[in-house]
Each structure stands twice: as structure tokens, then as C-alpha cells.
């Protein structure tokens, strides 16, 4: 299959599908929304506080010839999650793809970690993923089809990123357990990107050090993560469920220095 034929296959799979992306007004979520819209998906952009950014993004996606709506909701709140889903369905139709992208970060050491941050990071990563997956998963299972993709992180392999790594480990656990409950009608997988090359918050020295430890000699981009979200929706991955794909250029492979 040529690159053009493969792109056409992705387009055919995604065009017209209704996709709900949490935390999609900026950064990775916005990039995922752009890529799905590029392939013709209708996109619901969930935001919590960044309403202007979400509405601007929707205008950009509409210019691509698809339909996009911005929907505000705190996805850690069950009532707001229910309203988010109801609004998405009223505006666009039944949800074909859910991307659980919300995932607040903090790397404060456990000995210094406040209880407020402990609760906030777990709620944003685990509670939100559970609430959305449970509610949307029930609808998809009743309908007989659907896909859910959770955004994890390579912090699942580290023990130096405090509560964030623990939270992403829980996201992976949810991915596996709920994939069993939702099969065979619904496929549920996770993506675990490493440090993102286009993360503006990283210092040049930190980036250089990370690249030095990455066998592929560079860091993964938001665009590559977004493309993988789209690829997971295609028939090529029809037998993949309950798994976490790591996008890290080999950086998390265990290595032992020789000599």
C-alpha cells in the first residue's frame, strides 16, 4: 500500500465520525483535534477554562470543511461529564471516538507533595478518564461499536515524577481493565508519549540531554502522537485492544553500561 493509499484509508475510516477530545483547546489536544478534522471527523472540543482558545480552534477546524463545537466542562465532575456527553450528541450525533487527553502534571517529590496536588492530579488523570470511559463506553457498547484512546505517558516507567507517574499507571490499568469489559464492541487503547519535542516549557539543556538518551536521536512530536490516534482508528488495528503503545524513540528501553 502506498502512502497515498494509506492516507486515503485513514480518511475513509475517520471521515464523518464524531470525536470527543477532552482538554483539547491547546497543546496536544488541539493538535489531535486538527489531525482528526484533517481526515474529515466532526470534533467536540472540551475545555475547562480556555474558552477563547477552544472557540478559535473550532473556527480553524470549521475552515477545514468539517463541524467543530467547543463545550466547557470540568471532566472530574460527574454531572458536568454527563452534560458534556449530552451536548456533544445533540450537536454532532453519537460519539464514535473518545480521546481522554486531560492529564494535569506535577513532579513535586512525594515528601513535599501537598494533599491538594495529590487529589488534583489523580482526579484530572484517573477520575476524569474513568468517568468519561464509563459513560461513553456504555453508550458505545449498547450501540455495538466505538473506540476510546487514553493519553498516558512514559512516566509510567519512572519513579522520579511523583504523583503524575502513579496517575498515568492508573490510566494504563483502567485501559486494560475496561477494555475487557467493553470488548468486543469497543476497542480501548492508550498512547504513552515521551517528552514532546514541541513542549515550550523545556529548557534547551534539558532537551539536549533527553535527545542524547534517545536511540532515535530526537523527541516525538505532537503531530506524531496525533497521527497515531488517527491510525488506531483504522482496520489495521482491529485486533488491538487493552494495550499501551509507547512513543519514545526507544528512550525507556532498559540498558546496562558495558565495560
Q: Which residues contact 242 (CB under 8 A, 6 or more apart)?
A: 175, 176, 179, 180, 183, 188, 189
Q: How confident is the model at residue 5 (pLDDT cuts 50, 70, 90)?
A: low
Q: How confident is the model at residue 1 (pLDDT cuts 50, 70, 90)?
A: low
Q: How confident is the model at residue 8 (pLDDT cuts 50, 70, 90)?
A: low
What CA–CA distance (Å, rounded) separates 123 from 77? 9
The C-alpha cell that represents 212 in the structure block? 542524547
What CA–CA distance (Å, rounded) separates 149 from 225? 11
Average pLDDT across the chain, whole number = 94
pLDDT tens, position by position, 107-126 = 999 999 999 999 999 999 99
According to DSSP, residue 233 is labeled T
Class of domain 3-192+221-246: alpha beta
Please give the C-alpha separations between residue 231 and each of 14, 23, 36, 66, in angstroms, as whole numbers: 9, 21, 10, 19
Q: C-alpha 213: how far from its chain's center?
A: 25
3-state secondary structure 39-63: CCCEEEEEECCCHHHHHHHHHHHHC
| Residue 144 DSSP SS3 | coil
Query: DSSP for 235-249?
Result: GGGTT--S-EEEEST
| Domain-wise residue ranges, the chain | 3-192+221-246
Give the catalytic positions in this structure: 164
What CA–CA distance (Å, rounded) separates 137 from 237? 19
Residues 41 and 16: beta-carbon distance below 8 Å:
yes
Task: Please give the model's pTM, rounded to 2 decimal places.
Answer: 0.94
Q: Which residues contact 125 (CB under 8 A, 6 or more apart)?
A: 102, 103, 104, 164, 167, 168, 170, 171
Amino acid at each position: 500500500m502506498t502512502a497515498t493509499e494509506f492516507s486515503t484509508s485513514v480518511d475513509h475510516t475517520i471521515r464523518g465520525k464524531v470525536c470527543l477530545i477532552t482538554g483539547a483547546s491547546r497543546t496536544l489536544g488541539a493538535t489531535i483535534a486538527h489531525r482528526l478534522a484533517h481526515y474529515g471527523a466532526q470534533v467536540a472540543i472540551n475545555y475547562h477554562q480556555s474558552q477563547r482558545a477552544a472557540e478559535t480552534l473550532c473556527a480553524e477546524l470549521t475552515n477545514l470543511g468539517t463541524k467543530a463545537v467547543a463545550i466547557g466542562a470540568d471532566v472530574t465532575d460527574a454531572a458536568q461529564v454527563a452534560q458534556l456527553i449530552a451536548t456533544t450528541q445533540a450537536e454532532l450525533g453519537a460519539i464514535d471516538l473518545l480521546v481522554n487527553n486531560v492529564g494535569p502534571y506535577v513532579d513535586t517529590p512525594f515528601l513535599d507533595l501537598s494533599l491538594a496536588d495529590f487529589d488534583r492530579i489523580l482526579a484530572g488523570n484517573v477520575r476524569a478518564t474513568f468517568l468519561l470511559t464509563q459513560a461513553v463506553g456504555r453508550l458505545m457498547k449498547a450501540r455495538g461499536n466505538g473506540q476510546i484512546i487514553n493519553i498516558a505517558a512514559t512516566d509510567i516507567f519512572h519513579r522520579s515524577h511523583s504523583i503524575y507517574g502513579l496517575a498515568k499507571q492508573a490510566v494504563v490499568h483502567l485501559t486494560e481493565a475496561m477494555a475487557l469489559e467493553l470488548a468486543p464492541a469497543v476497542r480501548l487503547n492508550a498512547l504513552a508519549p515521551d517528552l514532546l519535542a514541541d513542549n515550550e516549557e523545556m529548557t534547551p539543556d534539558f532537551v539536549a540531554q533527553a535527545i542524547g538518551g534517545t536511540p532515535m536521536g530526537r523527541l516525538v512530536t505532537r503531530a506524531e502522537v496525533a497521527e497515531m490516534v488517527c491510525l488506531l482508528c483504522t482496520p489495521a488495528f482491529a485486533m488491538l485492544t487493552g494495550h499501551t503503545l509507547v512513543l519514545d524513540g526507544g528512550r525507556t528501553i532498559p540498558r546496562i553500561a558495558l565495560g
